[in-house]
Amino acid sequence: MAADGAAIIDVGGESTRPGARSIWEGDEIERVAPVIRQLAAGGTAVSCDTRKADVMTAAVEAGARMINDVSALTYDARSAGVAASLNVPVVLMHHKGAPEVMQDDPRYDDVLVEIYLWLEERIEAAVDAGVARNKILIDPGFGFGKNVGHNLELMNGLALFHSLGCPLVIGASRKRTIGALSNEAPTDKRIGGSIALAFKAVEQGAQIIRVHDVFETVQALRVWRGLRDQALTPRV
Protein backbone atom coordinates (compact mmCIF):
# COMPACT_ATOMS: atom_id res chain seq x y z
CA MET A 1 0.00 0.00 0.00
CA ALA A 2 2.85 2.40 0.74
CA ALA A 3 4.47 1.52 -2.58
CA ASP A 4 1.15 2.23 -4.29
CA GLY A 5 1.07 5.75 -2.88
CA ALA A 6 -0.42 5.61 0.61
CA ALA A 7 1.03 8.41 2.75
CA ILE A 8 -0.04 6.74 6.01
CA ILE A 9 -0.81 3.11 6.86
CA ASP A 10 -3.63 2.80 9.41
CA VAL A 11 -3.21 -0.38 11.47
CA GLY A 12 -6.09 -1.71 13.55
CA GLY A 13 -6.58 -4.91 15.53
CA GLU A 14 -10.29 -4.64 16.36
CA SER A 15 -13.19 -4.36 13.95
CA THR A 16 -15.62 -1.52 14.66
CA ARG A 17 -17.88 -2.11 11.67
CA PRO A 18 -21.63 -2.30 12.39
CA GLY A 19 -22.38 -5.34 14.53
CA ALA A 20 -18.77 -5.92 15.61
CA ARG A 21 -17.95 -6.90 19.19
CA SER A 22 -15.14 -5.49 21.31
CA ILE A 23 -12.02 -7.60 21.99
CA TRP A 24 -9.63 -7.67 24.93
CA GLU A 25 -6.94 -5.00 24.71
CA GLY A 26 -4.18 -7.58 25.25
CA ASP A 27 -5.22 -9.43 22.11
CA GLU A 28 -5.45 -6.14 20.23
CA ILE A 29 -1.91 -5.19 21.25
CA GLU A 30 -0.59 -8.58 20.17
CA ARG A 31 -2.16 -8.05 16.77
CA VAL A 32 -1.01 -4.50 16.05
CA ALA A 33 2.31 -3.92 17.83
CA PRO A 34 4.48 -6.28 15.71
CA VAL A 35 2.99 -4.93 12.47
CA ILE A 36 3.47 -1.31 13.52
CA ARG A 37 7.02 -2.00 14.67
CA GLN A 38 8.00 -3.57 11.36
CA LEU A 39 6.35 -0.92 9.21
CA ALA A 40 7.80 1.95 11.23
CA ALA A 41 11.27 0.41 11.12
CA GLY A 42 11.02 0.44 7.34
CA GLY A 43 10.25 4.15 7.27
CA THR A 44 6.47 3.94 6.81
CA ALA A 45 4.27 6.52 8.53
CA VAL A 46 1.85 4.54 10.71
CA SER A 47 -1.43 5.39 12.41
CA CYS A 48 -3.10 3.08 14.93
CA ASP A 49 -6.86 2.61 14.78
CA THR A 50 -7.90 1.95 18.39
CA ARG A 51 -10.32 3.03 21.12
CA LYS A 52 -8.24 1.81 24.07
CA ALA A 53 -5.66 3.76 26.09
CA ASP A 54 -3.25 0.85 26.63
CA VAL A 55 -3.31 0.01 22.93
CA MET A 56 -2.58 3.65 22.11
CA THR A 57 0.47 3.56 24.37
CA ALA A 58 1.74 0.26 22.95
CA ALA A 59 1.21 1.49 19.39
CA VAL A 60 3.17 4.70 19.88
CA GLU A 61 5.94 2.79 21.67
CA ALA A 62 6.08 0.49 18.63
CA GLY A 63 6.44 3.45 16.26
CA ALA A 64 2.95 4.74 15.42
CA ARG A 65 2.81 8.49 14.98
CA MET A 66 -0.95 9.06 14.98
CA ILE A 67 -3.97 7.69 16.84
CA ASN A 68 -7.26 7.15 14.98
CA ASP A 69 -10.06 6.72 17.53
CA VAL A 70 -13.52 5.94 16.12
CA SER A 71 -15.01 6.74 19.53
CA ALA A 72 -13.42 10.23 19.68
CA LEU A 73 -11.84 9.40 23.07
CA THR A 74 -15.15 8.37 24.65
CA TYR A 75 -14.80 4.58 24.84
CA ASP A 76 -11.97 4.41 27.39
CA ALA A 77 -12.06 6.88 30.30
CA ARG A 78 -8.25 7.06 30.29
CA SER A 79 -7.81 7.59 26.57
CA ALA A 80 -7.98 11.40 26.50
CA GLY A 81 -5.28 11.78 29.15
CA VAL A 82 -3.13 9.12 27.50
CA ALA A 83 -3.53 10.73 24.08
CA ALA A 84 -2.40 14.02 25.57
CA SER A 85 0.66 12.44 27.19
CA LEU A 86 1.65 10.62 23.99
CA ASN A 87 1.76 13.97 22.18
CA VAL A 88 0.86 12.60 18.74
CA PRO A 89 -1.95 13.67 16.40
CA VAL A 90 -5.32 12.10 17.18
CA VAL A 91 -8.35 11.65 14.92
CA LEU A 92 -11.69 12.22 16.63
CA MET A 93 -14.49 10.45 14.74
CA HIS A 94 -18.21 10.97 15.12
CA HIS A 95 -20.31 7.90 15.88
CA LYS A 96 -23.84 7.36 17.14
CA GLY A 97 -24.12 4.33 19.40
CA ALA A 98 -21.84 1.34 19.96
CA PRO A 99 -20.81 -0.75 16.92
CA GLU A 100 -23.12 -3.56 18.05
CA VAL A 101 -26.25 -1.42 17.62
CA MET A 102 -25.32 1.77 15.77
CA GLN A 103 -27.07 0.80 12.53
CA ASP A 104 -30.30 -0.45 14.11
CA ASP A 105 -32.30 2.75 13.50
CA PRO A 106 -30.12 5.91 13.48
CA ARG A 107 -32.10 9.16 13.57
CA TYR A 108 -31.18 12.84 13.37
CA ASP A 109 -33.19 16.05 13.26
CA ASP A 110 -30.39 17.63 11.20
CA VAL A 111 -27.49 15.28 10.53
CA LEU A 112 -24.94 17.98 9.60
CA VAL A 113 -25.71 20.26 12.53
CA GLU A 114 -25.80 17.43 15.08
CA ILE A 115 -22.48 15.96 13.90
CA TYR A 116 -20.90 19.41 13.84
CA LEU A 117 -21.95 20.23 17.40
CA TRP A 118 -20.91 16.77 18.65
CA LEU A 119 -17.44 17.12 17.11
CA GLU A 120 -17.13 20.63 18.49
CA GLU A 121 -17.79 19.24 21.97
CA ARG A 122 -15.28 16.42 21.50
CA ILE A 123 -12.58 18.83 20.33
CA GLU A 124 -13.07 20.95 23.43
CA ALA A 125 -13.06 17.86 25.67
CA ALA A 126 -9.78 16.71 24.14
CA VAL A 127 -8.23 20.16 24.57
CA ASP A 128 -9.41 20.26 28.20
CA ALA A 129 -7.71 16.89 28.73
CA GLY A 130 -4.43 18.32 27.45
CA VAL A 131 -4.42 17.39 23.77
CA ALA A 132 -2.94 20.24 21.74
CA ARG A 133 -5.55 21.70 19.39
CA ASN A 134 -3.06 21.61 16.51
CA LYS A 135 -2.80 17.84 16.95
CA ILE A 136 -6.53 17.17 16.54
CA LEU A 137 -8.07 15.89 13.30
CA ILE A 138 -11.79 15.24 12.81
CA ASP A 139 -13.74 12.56 10.96
CA PRO A 140 -17.53 12.97 10.58
CA GLY A 141 -17.91 9.18 10.65
CA PHE A 142 -19.39 8.14 7.31
CA GLY A 143 -21.39 4.96 7.98
CA PHE A 144 -21.06 5.01 11.77
CA GLY A 145 -24.62 5.32 13.07
CA LYS A 146 -25.96 6.74 9.80
CA ASN A 147 -28.27 5.42 7.11
CA VAL A 148 -27.82 5.93 3.36
CA GLY A 149 -29.63 9.27 3.35
CA HIS A 150 -27.57 10.54 6.29
CA ASN A 151 -24.33 9.50 4.59
CA LEU A 152 -25.23 11.24 1.32
CA GLU A 153 -26.23 14.43 3.13
CA LEU A 154 -23.00 14.27 5.09
CA MET A 155 -20.84 13.93 1.95
CA ASN A 156 -22.68 16.78 0.24
CA GLY A 157 -22.05 19.06 3.22
CA LEU A 158 -18.48 18.15 4.18
CA ALA A 159 -17.16 21.67 3.68
CA LEU A 160 -19.11 22.79 6.75
CA PHE A 161 -16.70 20.95 9.04
CA HIS A 162 -13.68 23.05 8.02
CA SER A 163 -15.01 25.81 10.27
CA LEU A 164 -14.11 23.63 13.25
CA GLY A 165 -10.49 24.47 12.45
CA CYS A 166 -9.10 20.92 12.32
CA PRO A 167 -7.91 18.82 9.36
CA LEU A 168 -10.67 16.67 7.92
CA VAL A 169 -10.40 12.87 7.56
CA ILE A 170 -12.90 10.88 5.49
CA GLY A 171 -13.30 7.10 5.36
CA ALA A 172 -16.03 6.05 2.93
CA SER A 173 -14.18 3.34 1.01
CA ARG A 174 -16.20 0.17 0.23
CA LYS A 175 -18.92 1.07 2.73
CA ARG A 176 -22.51 -0.11 2.77
CA THR A 177 -23.95 3.01 1.16
CA ILE A 178 -22.06 2.22 -2.06
CA GLY A 179 -23.63 -1.23 -2.19
CA ALA A 180 -27.06 0.20 -1.47
CA LEU A 181 -26.74 2.48 -4.51
CA SER A 182 -25.42 -0.25 -6.85
CA ASN A 183 -27.69 -3.31 -6.64
CA GLU A 184 -26.16 -4.51 -3.35
CA ALA A 185 -22.69 -4.86 -4.84
CA PRO A 186 -20.38 -6.82 -2.49
CA THR A 187 -17.45 -5.06 -0.83
CA ASP A 188 -14.92 -6.17 -3.47
CA LYS A 189 -17.11 -4.63 -6.21
CA ARG A 190 -17.33 -1.12 -4.75
CA ILE A 191 -14.16 0.52 -6.09
CA GLY A 192 -16.01 2.83 -8.49
CA GLY A 193 -18.26 4.14 -5.75
CA SER A 194 -15.31 4.46 -3.38
CA ILE A 195 -13.43 6.63 -5.88
CA ALA A 196 -16.53 8.74 -6.52
CA LEU A 197 -16.79 9.45 -2.79
CA ALA A 198 -13.06 10.18 -2.60
CA PHE A 199 -13.48 12.79 -5.34
CA LYS A 200 -16.42 14.32 -3.49
CA ALA A 201 -14.32 14.58 -0.34
CA VAL A 202 -11.21 16.12 -1.90
CA GLU A 203 -13.29 18.58 -3.91
CA GLN A 204 -14.51 19.90 -0.56
CA GLY A 205 -11.03 20.13 0.90
CA ALA A 206 -10.67 16.92 2.93
CA GLN A 207 -7.02 16.53 3.87
CA ILE A 208 -6.89 12.75 4.43
CA ILE A 209 -8.84 10.08 2.56
CA ARG A 210 -8.89 6.61 4.12
CA VAL A 211 -9.12 3.94 1.40
CA HIS A 212 -8.63 0.24 0.71
CA ASP A 213 -7.83 0.39 -3.01
CA VAL A 214 -4.73 2.57 -2.80
CA PHE A 215 -3.28 2.28 -6.31
CA GLU A 216 -6.56 2.96 -8.08
CA THR A 217 -7.54 5.85 -5.81
CA VAL A 218 -4.13 7.52 -6.00
CA GLN A 219 -4.12 7.19 -9.79
CA ALA A 220 -7.63 8.67 -10.06
CA LEU A 221 -6.75 11.58 -7.78
CA ARG A 222 -3.51 12.28 -9.67
CA VAL A 223 -5.43 12.51 -12.93
CA TRP A 224 -8.05 14.72 -11.26
CA ARG A 225 -5.32 16.97 -9.88
CA GLY A 226 -3.58 17.12 -13.26
CA LEU A 227 -6.79 18.24 -14.95
CA ARG A 228 -7.39 20.86 -12.28
CA ASP A 229 -3.83 22.20 -12.38
CA GLN A 230 -3.84 22.37 -16.18
CA ALA A 231 -7.11 24.28 -16.12
CA LEU A 232 -5.53 26.80 -13.73
CA THR A 233 -2.31 27.20 -15.75
CA PRO A 234 -2.26 30.54 -17.62
CA ARG A 235 -1.88 30.24 -21.38
CA VAL A 236 1.23 31.92 -22.76
Q: Indicate which CATH number applies to the domain containing 193.
A: 3.20.20.20
Residue 2 lies in a domain: no
* Residue 197: pLDDT over 60: yes
Residue type at position 38: Q
Residue 4 lies in a domain: no
Residue 13 lies in a domain: yes
Residue 3 lies in a domain: no
Question: What integer pLDDT is reported at residue 234 of this predicted model?
Answer: 81
Residue 1 lies in a domain: no
Looking at the structure of the chain, the number of domains it has is 1
Residue 62 lies in a domain: yes
Q: Is 210 a catalytic residue?
A: yes
Closest CA to 171 of 137, 138, 139: 139
66-95, pLDDT tens digit by residue? 999 999 999 999 999 999 999 999 999 998
Candidates 96, 135, 146, 210; catalytic one: 210
* Residue 181: pLDDT over 60: yes
Question: What integer pLDDT is reported at residue 101 of this predicted model?
Answer: 59
Residue 163 lies in a domain: yes
Angle (CA) 196-201-205 rounded to 5° is 145
Candidates 52, 96, 174, 175; catalytic one: 175
Residue 207 lies in a domain: yes
Range of the domain at 191: 9-232
Mean pLDDT, all residues of the chain: 93
26-58, pLDDT tens digit by residue? 999 999 999 999 999 999 999 999 999 999 999
* Residue 102: pLDDT over 60: no
Q: 3-state secondary structure string, 55-87? A: HHHHHHHHCCCEEEECCCCCCCCCHHHHHHHHC
Distance CA 32, CA 174 (A): 22
Question: What integer pLDDT is reported at residue 100 of this predicted model?
Answer: 62
Percent of the chain surpassing pLDDT 90: 83
* Residue 230: pLDDT over 70: yes
